[in-house]
Structure 1
Amino acid sequence: MPFRLSSFSMLIGLGAVLGHLYLYRRLVRELVRGRVGRLVAMVVLGLLTLLLGLRRTLLDAVPEQYERTVTVATYTWMGVALCLVLALGAFDLVRALLALSRRLQQRRATPLAAPSEEPIDPERRKFLGRALAGGAALAGGGLASYGHWRAFAPPMVTEVAIRIPKLPRALDGLSIVQLTDIHVGPFIQRRFMDELVRQANALKPDLFAITGDLVDGDVPTLGPSVAALRDLRSRYGSYFVTGNHDYYSGDVEWTTFLQSLDIQSLRNRHVRIGDAGASLDLVGVDDWSGWKRRNQKGYDLDLALQGRDPERAAVLLAHQPANFKVAAERGMDLQISGHTHGGQLVPMTLLINFAWEHVAGLYRHQDSHIYVSRGCGFWGPPMRVGSPPELVKLVLTT
């Protein structure tokens, strides 16, 4: 197999090296006694570093029956390691701030009033270092456990009313439930999907919008889990647009499979929702960037709007929250997107704001709106911290 390396892989690899070096310095050196124990820990951390940095190459090399095991082990440890690093970093930051505070207080004190410094007992220093390292390890483990629970727990329901002046009065109150970024794959399978469908149906929407990144794998492997979507029930049916991961997993095969579940794919086209007396346009576009990896046709708003009356109310389904202002100026009253996961895990929940203008929630441009969902599932580490999953119900009003 050829050696696969991308800028993203290089970033993950660099993070893995620095993170494991930090874990060795702050955990192994503090808690593990003896050269043999430290050597074993060093070898284990080295292997874990290679596992994270070269995971895609490793997946190409292992037999197919072991791919899921390798993926689950890799991403689980990635999440645990990140939580450990965050906890240790927080402890070290607090300790550094306390030490700085003490030094500043000593400098402010007069020479006569300043207390004499006593030598620090080396054994006491070791005990405190081990206690802090152990406490940080427990905190990191607790954070990882919480994140794992939050990722698999039922998503929070977010209900938002959005005013669309062009909406026919007969459609006032029409509701759309958005399912996005589920990432059916090694972690998320049929049991999760059955519960998600049950919860979605309980919201009694008029329409379901599945806005991409549905899967991480092929139809033969994941089809039985995705088939749970056949049980979605709504007045106007279910509609799907591709996400970047759906391209990676086989967009043509998946759209064909979804059609067999009575889920329509809107690939750069629009349909009318309603009846002859009152209706709106539901517009769907392919993913903004996923097509590039396979050199296929992708996002084409012009094609999707071809033949549409611009005076009619319109809702755009687009996986990524990209091109919103252009879509708004082209007459889209509402864009429904996902992709960002709201960052999914700290510190990405903060860093994601530098990558996207619209990260999570409702935004407005002139008379148009965009809602960006945090997603129902997760990608990578099976954890969510600081960005819980959500199931979105959008109610359109006049």
Structure 2
Amino acid sequence: MLQALMFFSMVLVVVGPIHWYLYKRLFKDTTTTTRGRRIGAAVIIGLALALLAAFIVPRVIGAKASWVIPMVGYMWLAVLFYLLVTLLVLEIPRVIANRTWARRATAPVADQAAAPVAVGVAAGAEPGQAETALAEPGLPSAPAPATPDGPADPSRRLLIARSAAIFAGLTATGITAYGVKTALGDPVLKRVQIPLAKLPRSMDGYKIALVSDIHLGPLTGIEHSRRIVRSINGMNADLIAVAGDMVDGTVAELGDEAAPLAELRSRDGSYFVTGNHEYFSGAEEWLVEVERLGMRPLQNERLEIRGLTLAGVNDVSGGDLGEGGPDFGKALGDRDPSKPVVLLAHQPIQAFEAAKHGVDLQLSGHTHGGQMVPFNLIAALQQPVISGLGEVDGTQVYVTNGAGFWGPPVRVGAPPDITLVELRAM
């Protein structure tokens, strides 16, 4: 409960100022009427509430019963993010444009003291005839024509504000639409060869199908599971590794969607480790269900497969929630040091501890590859590897983007993937 309160407090601290900024740039700066600004404020407040509700309502009334609210809230989250990024990028040209017009407006007017000035039409003069004279010193000169430039003319600022808002809106919606198409499409099938020094020649070319972050939940359907199963089975892998975050809801809510996973096929079986979202969704029930579906959970344990040690540890969230976190000593202690170790661990950051236990290769997920660029830059502040193959203290770490999505059904710059890891002897 305390963690949930802290989370939502942080959300409010962040969400409030962002929505105020969007209201200012999209409505306050672009609208000249009180009525228009009130409508804009109502829209922004409504969307902010929908965003908060998307996090809260599914946990209260169930993942499937509430799909409309998460759809609205999460889609707004994606649009909001790209609106914010675009508007922040436009801040510099907006300031430059406003200051440029301001300089034009305040530039000194050329001395016109000696210029001819029309002083009127002489009495009785013929139509069209006028008398002119040179302006005498001390006499008032004709006023300069009003300039349309600069801050004195609010239409300039209005034009800049509206142009920026329109550009940001079109950019954000266009990127989001592309991201939806990517997230809901087939996962990209990757293939990577990873050499292991201790791998016996008899296992050269051993194939592991790695999938993570399937995220069955309120915005997915059974076809999402079927698509993933078809992709994995088409790889003809020797072993299947499911590296956590399979679900965002209880067994009662999502059991039907998970059912196709029972059709996974490989020579040496399917194995599962918990991710952080399992601990938000009833981990104990899901561990039983996963086993019923034909996958073997590896809870801080290992087994020998031919000339290879396959180990799995719980996600760090299990320890935070008092349900059993990772225990590397239990999983890797007293093992045969002559055999290579492949470790399934949901988060790449667990590789720091894995390296202390001599793990040769860690297979992970969790990061989604950032899911929506430039979130990958933020994720890199927490995790040592975001996507693909990396190394942590001598341990090789491969991180998949994951086959699903969390929050918005949007992926930009990080398409969903399933990876065939081919182990090579050296």
Question: How does the TM-score come out when normalised to structure 2?
Answer: 0.82
Superposed CA offset, 1:151-172 (max 9, x none): 1122222221111111111110
200, 204, 209: which one pairs with 1:168?
A: 200
Cα pair 2:51 2:72 within 8 Å, conserved: no
Match of 1:210 among 242, 266, 272: 242
Name the amino acid aligned to 1:234.
Answer: S
Residue among 159, 180, 185 paired with 2:217: 185
CA RMSD of aligned residues (A): 3.0
Structure 1 stretches of 5 or more lacking a match?
107-111
Which of 318, 326, 342 is equivalent to 2:353?
Answer: 326
Report if aligned partners of 1:232, 1:238 keep a CA contact under 8 Å in 2: yes
Q: Is the 8 A contact 1:30 1:133 kept in 2?
A: no
Cα distance in 1 for partners of 2:420, 2:75 equals: 31
Partner SS, residue 217 of structure 1: coil
Q: Is residue 352–residue 359 contact of structure 1 (8 Å, CA) maintained in 2?
A: yes
- CA–CA distance in structure 1, aligned partners of residues 3 and 32 of structure 2: 38
- Match status 1:148 vs 2:147: no
CA distance in 1, matches of 2:163, 2:392: 52
Q: Paired residue for 2:26?
A: 27
1:79 deviates by: 1.4
Of stretches 305-314 and 90-99 in structure 1, the one that deviates more from structure 2 is: 90-99
Q: Output the amino acid matched with 1:166.
A: K
Partner of 1:92: 91
Tell me if structure 1 keeps the 8 A contact 2:342–2:361: yes
1:320 and 1:61, CA in 2 relative to 1: closer, same or farther beyond 3 A?
A: closer
Match of residue 72 from structure 2: 73
Q: Aligned partner of 1:86: which letter?
A: V
What's the TM-score once normalised by structure 1's chain length?
Answer: 0.87
Q: Which residue pairs with 1:349 in the alignment?
A: 376
| Rounded Cα–Cα distance in structure 2 between residues aligned with 1:73 and 1:171 | 49
Q: 1:282 maps to what in 2? A: 310
Q: Deviations over 1:229-272 (max 9, x none)?
A: 12222111111000111111111211111111211111111112
1:233-382 mapped onto 2 (5 Å cutoff): 233-274=265-306, 279-293=307-321, 295-365=322-392, 368-382=395-409
Answer with 80-89 or 183-192: which moved more: 80-89
Q: Structure 1 residues 386, 211: closer, same or farther in 2, change over 3 A?
A: same
CA 1:388/1:262 → structure 2, altered by over 3 Å: closer, same or farther?
A: same
Give the residue type in structure 1 aligned to 2:220: I
Give the total of aligned pairs. 386
Segment of structure 1 superposing worse, 53-62 or 243-252: 53-62
Give 1 or 2: higher helix fraction.
Answer: 1
SS in 1 for 2:92: helix
Q: Which amino acid aligns with 2:7?
A: F
**1:225 counterpart = 2:224:** no
- Which stretch of structure 1 is more off in the superposition, 341-350 or 280-289? 341-350
Instruction: Tell which deviates more after alignment, 143-152 or 66-75.
Output: 66-75
Q: Is the 8 A contact 1:248 1:290 kept in 2?
A: no
State the identity %. 37
Where does the alignment leave 5 or more consecutive residues of structure 2 unmatched? 105-109, 111-145
Q: Decide which moves more: 345-354 or 245-254.
A: 345-354
- Residue 412 of structure 2 is matched in structure 1 by 385
Rg comparison, structure with higher value: 2
